[in-house]
């Protein structure tokens, strides 16, 4: 059993044991709370019936005090119970990532799909059964966006950056307990994954505290205290003090006219801020060794040496107070005596003035740690995966390379495209594994660039911009046929190559929407053009005549997949072989579909 699988199963068992104990405790405390309420009602009724009024307040106070204590412990146990259930869920997801049942995960990252992206659609980076769905453990919007941006490879990192990222992924893969804390904290508070921009907008808005807000509350407090004192001394009647309270309430409403919008904003994001505070606290407290992670962490510590954890916790306390003051009658008394809402506004403005410009950067760093933690799960879950060697040369080769998302069913193949070789032509019969092999190479290159280990015994690759043309479909809204959609993708590829980009292309059955003569001629010219522009890559085709290019082009090498028959049933071993294909199976598959070639020739 792998280290990861053992860890997940042990965590599940331990958490389930704790859950079993907590269920009994929470049930008992719930019963105790009910009993306290019943006893309070019965006792109060008894004292009332027997005219013992002087003890009613005392006994109610005692019952309320005991109830608050029991409720406190009950709520804590309920939170502990929920956290343990989250731990079970997190570890069960870890097992599903290993055993291949992860395709049931709800978050598929479908909103990140782009028809014009160079490779993400063809390599199943987003959407159903995608790389994102497989590895994503982020829960915040910042984490999801960060992970999506990393997987899109909008900018190919330099060799040194990839090596630094590998070091970071290795370190995080070993910090499995810490990574799970990140997931638990963000899951526990049910963070909002949308509309976080309004929080950033509030933080970055420049607004100074006015003179009135600085001075008037203190004057009102002074008048109120004087009023209370002279009322106690019976110099003025109590009714005048009520007028002071009413005046204070009016002043609070005028000075905090924008408070309603702020209350709504922070009520919506109260759990978010608590989760962000906890996540940033975990990051700030953790020690990292890799330069990549240390540099990333340094971004939450600004030039003023402000503690991100401390400042986020202070914001959380302000928001907790704000939430309570908007819904609790007790705070009405504070408002009419010490004008508490005005001080909340001042403290929020003070916090914004000090930290608002840093908040977005803090949250982006938090998101990057979430994204890197998701990627590091690959390294932890699959010990057989190996970190690639990033080459200076434009070459790709490896031993026993498999499709990373297929799991144990993946068939591994060794592959080489180096030296003078620039194009690998992959031929073979239908369903023999050509398209899957192209995705295998493409996904392992992608894993290499994001610092993750690859599904291989060894993998070596240079740095390229990946372009694919594998799945093309028509677009009725834009009157685009599947063939024209394919032409548009080829156009993007050629333009990139002409711009001088180091292009690595994966082309699957190109120009399949036209006749065989045009397809053959078009493919031959395209391959030549891409190589002349410095590109390299893999091309799968049924056009066996293209294999003849190997005789005149020393930069082209042929590989093939084959089928075999067992009791008249077609079977495949999905093993890559040298040379062009010599077999065909289309007629056999047509016969299996019921097409009678003997009768209707």
Q: What are phi and psi of 358, to 5 degrees?
A: -100, -15
DSSP 314-339: HHHHHHHHHHHHTT-HHHHHHHHHH-
Output the six-digit token pair for 272: 């978010």
Residue 553 to residue 407: CA distance in whole angstroms = 37
DSSP state of 572: E
The dihedral over CA atoms of 575, 580, 582, 588, expressed in degrees to the nearest 10, equals 60
Pairing of strands 458-461, 396-401: antiparallel
Poorest-pLDDT segment among 30-44, 90-104, 360-374: 30-44
User: What are the angstrom distances between the C-alpha of 373 and each of 10, 173, 370, 446?
Assistant: 21, 7, 5, 17
Residue 230 to residue 101: CA distance in whole angstroms = 75
Q: pTM of the predicted model, to two decimals?
A: 0.85
User: What are the angstrom distances between the C-alpha of 295 and each of 291, 299, 395?
Assistant: 6, 7, 31
Average pLDDT across the chain, whole number: 84
| Chain Cα centroid distance, residue 579 | 43
CB 557 within 8 A of CB 423: yes
DSSP 71-87: HHHHHHHHHHHHHHHHH
CATH architecture of the domain 389-592 equals 3-Layer(aba) Sandwich (3.40)
The dihedral over CA atoms of 356, 358, 361, 366, expressed in degrees to the nearest 10, equals -90
Give the residues across from 425 on adjacent strands. Answer: 539, 558
Q: What are phi and psi of 402, to 5 degrees?
A: -125, 165
* Helix or strand run (H / E) with residue 425: strand 423-428
- What is residue 477's predicted lDDT score, i.e. its pLDDT? 43
CB 470 within 8 A of CB 435: yes
Percentage above 90 pLDDT, the chain: 47
CB 467 within 8 A of CB 502: no
Poorest-pLDDT segment among 17-21, 272-276, 563-567: 563-567
Poorest-pLDDT segment among 85-99, 167-181, 337-351: 337-351
* Helix or strand run (H / E) with residue 459: strand 458-461
The dihedral over CA atoms of 32, 35, 41, 45, expressed in degrees to the nearest 10, equals -130
- What is residue 474's predicted lDDT score, i.e. its pLDDT? 46
- What is residue 192's predicted lDDT score, i.e. its pLDDT? 59
DSSP state of 454: B
Q: Where do the domains of the chain lie?
A: 197-381, 389-592
Q: What are phi and psi of 513, to 5 degrees?
A: -90, 15
Taken in order 288, 291, 297, 303, the sign of the CA dihedral is positive
527 CB-near residues (< 8 Å, 6+ apart): 423, 539, 546, 549, 556
- What is residue 291's predicted lDDT score, i.e. its pLDDT? 95
CB 555 within 8 A of CB 420: yes
Give the pLDDT mean for 295-316.
82
- What is residue 389's predicted lDDT score, i.e. its pLDDT? 97
Residue 286 to residue 308: CA distance in whole angstroms = 13
- What is residue 430's predicted lDDT score, i.e. its pLDDT? 78
Each residue's pLDDT tens digit, 523-575 = 888 899 999 999 999 999 888 888 888 888 999 999 999 888 777 777 888 99
Residue 368 to residue 562: CA distance in whole angstroms = 44
Q: Identify the CA nearest to 555 among candidates 537, 575, 581, 542.
A: 537
């Amino acid at each position: 059993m792998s280290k990861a699988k053992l860890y997940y199963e042990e965590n599940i068992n331990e958490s389930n044991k704790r859950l079993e104990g907590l269920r009994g405790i929470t049930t008992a405390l719930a019963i105790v709370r009910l009993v306290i309420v019943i006893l309070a009602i019965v006792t109060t009724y008894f004292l009332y019936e027997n005219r013992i009024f002087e003890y009613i307040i005392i006994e109610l106070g005692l019952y309320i005090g005991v109830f608050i204590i029991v409720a406190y412990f009950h709520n804590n146990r309920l939170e502990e119970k929920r956290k343990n259930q989250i731990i079970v869920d997190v570890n069960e997801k870890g097992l599903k990532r290993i055993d291949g049942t992860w395709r049931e995960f709800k978050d598929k990252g479908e909103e990140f799909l782009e028809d014009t992206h160079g490779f993400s659609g063809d390599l199943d980076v987003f959407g159903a059964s995608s790389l994102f769905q497989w590895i994503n453990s982020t829960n915040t919007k910042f984490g999801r966006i960060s992970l999506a941006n990393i997987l899109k490879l909008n900018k190919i990192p330099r060799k040194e950056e990839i090596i630094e990222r590998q070091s970071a992924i290795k370190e995080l893969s070993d910090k499995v307990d810490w990574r799970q804390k990140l997931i638990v904290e963000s899951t526990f508070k049910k963070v909002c994954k949308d509309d976080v921009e309004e929080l950033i907008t509030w933080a970055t808005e420049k607004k100074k505290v006015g003179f009135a807000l600085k001075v008037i509350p203190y004057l009102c407090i002074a008048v109120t205290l004087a009023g209370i004192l002279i009322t106690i001394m019976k110099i003025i009647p109590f009714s005048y003090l009520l007028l002071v309270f009413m005046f204070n309430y009016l002043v609070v409403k005028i000075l905090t006219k924008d408070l309603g919008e702020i209350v709504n904003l922070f009520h919506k994001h109260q759990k978010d801020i608590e989760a962000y505070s906890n996540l940033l606290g975990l990051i700030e407290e953790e020690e990292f060794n890799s330069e990549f992670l240390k540099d990333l962490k340094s971004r939450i510590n600004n030039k003023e040496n402000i503690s991100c954890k401390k400042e986020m916790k202070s914001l959380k306390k302000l928001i907790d107070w704000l939430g309570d003051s908007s819904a609790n009658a007790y705070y009405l008394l504070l408002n009419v005596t010490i004008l508490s809402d005005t001080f909340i506004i001042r403290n929020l403005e003070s916090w914004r003035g000090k930290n608002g410009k840093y908040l977005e950067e803090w949250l982006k760093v938090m998101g990057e740690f979430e994204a890197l933690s998701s990627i590091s799960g690959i390294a932890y879950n699959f010990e057989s995966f190996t970190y690639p060697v990033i080459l200076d040369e434009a070459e790709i080769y490896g031993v026993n390379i498999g499709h990373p998302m297929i799991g144990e069913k993946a068939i591994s193949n060794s592959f080489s495209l180096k030296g003078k070789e620039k194009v690998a032509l992959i031929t073979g019969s239908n369903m023999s594994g050509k398209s899957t092999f192209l995705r295998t190479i493409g996904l392992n290159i992608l894993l290499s660039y994001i610092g993750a280990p690859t599904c291989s015994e060894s993998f070596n690759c240079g740095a390229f911009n990946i372009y694919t043309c594998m799945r093309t479909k028509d677009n009725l809204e834009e009157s685009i046929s599947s063939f024209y959609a394919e032409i548009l993708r080829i156009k993007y590829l050629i333009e990139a190559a002409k711009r001088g980009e180091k292009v690595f292309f994966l082309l699957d059955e190109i120009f399949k929407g036209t006749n065989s003569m045009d397809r053959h001629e078009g493919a031959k010219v395209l391959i030549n053009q891409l190589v002349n522009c410095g590109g390299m890559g893999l091309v799968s085709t049924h056009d066996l005549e293209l294999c003849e290019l190997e005789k005149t082009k020393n930069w082209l090498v042929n590989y093939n997949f084959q089928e075999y028959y067992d009791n008249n049933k077609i079977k495949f071993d999905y093993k890559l072989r040298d040379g062009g294909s010599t077999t065909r199976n289309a007629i056999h598959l047509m016969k299996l579909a019921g097409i009678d070639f003997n009768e209707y020739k």
